Amino acid sequence: MELNSLLDALQAHLPEILRWSGAIAKRLRNFNIAVENKSSGSALTDALTLADLTLQELIVAALRDRDPIFRECRIEAEEKTGDLDRFSEDSPYVLSIDPIDGTKQYRDKTANGYCVMVHLRDSETVHYSLVYIPETAEQGTWVEAVHKKVICGPDDLSRPAREVLDAMPAIDPQTRPDSPRIYLIGFQDKDTSNARLVTETGLEGVPPDEMPGSIYDHLATGAFGGSLIHTPNVYDFPVSLHIARILGGDAVWVHNGEPVNFHEHWLDDRADMLRLPGITACSANPETLKTLCELAKDWSQVRYQD
């Protein structure tokens, strides 16, 4: 399978698929759709709705049917729904789906920054990322990363989704603001206290309860400078890595400063999801990465202490 052919197919088909998914998410949000399933002890992680399950079913079916090249990829999805067995089991390329990132915010109607997202990666890095945020801006917001270019901007439902994306200018790393705000998540009951430690370095730590939405549009535009995440999952975090790398930064493991890759992961049985090991720092600014690594290099890499 040729990578550029796969990227062309994703760019051609995925935008309208995520736009449809976003429309369904907006509609389902009007109903009581909470589902009890996960038991990690974290309200953010355990939140699950019928919308997560429905959107994944739609995205998987669309990938299955739209172009045969998609079935040549492995697929990793946060939920269990969809015709997942139709996809390869040994491809070097992985299509990863997070049907709703920010499910607790979505379910509880506390803010509108939830999103639908898909990315393509191999064992070393991410090659394509698409994020659709249905309820920000007047008609939704896009983030796309591909071919060393990141774009972010409002949707226009009067035009085809691909046409809207093609008209957006690339974000210029030279003029993009460099916010000191750093998103922290995954530290269980230490999210807030660790955010204060980040603030003491001269940056500004932001725990989950203070996050205005998913990080991807904020990272792309420079409204946030990066993230510090304990054992990030493989469905959403790689998109932040992708954005940061294109914009001149990286995602690294704090204990050794090495770039994050996807050679190893572990199954978090409590949350029923795949995670990367250790603590990762992600930023478009290499100096920010150094600061975060120096701060967190000796923090425990064990997610659950009990």
Question: For residue 256, what are its two tokens?
Answer: 């050794």
Cα gap 251→258, rounded to integer Å: 8
Cα gap 48→144, rounded to integer Å: 25
Is 100 annotated among the ligand-binding residues?
yes
Is 268 annotated among the ligand-binding residues?
no
Is 138 annotated among the ligand-binding residues?
no
Give the CB-side neighbour count of residue 237, counting CA atoms within 13 A.
29
Is 269 annotated among the ligand-binding residues?
no
Q: What is the phi/psi pair of residue 204, to 5°?
A: -135, 105
Which SS3 state, helix, strand or coil, does residue 136 take? coil
Question: For residue 301, what are its two tokens?
Answer: 């890499």
Q: How far, rounded to the nearest angstrom, does the alpha carbon of residue 286 sit from its chain's CA centroid?
A: 21
- Name the nearest CA neighbour of 226 among 139, 303, 142, 295: 295
Residues annotated within the binding site are 78, 98, 100-101
Residues annotated within the binding site for Mg(2+) are 78, 98, 100-101
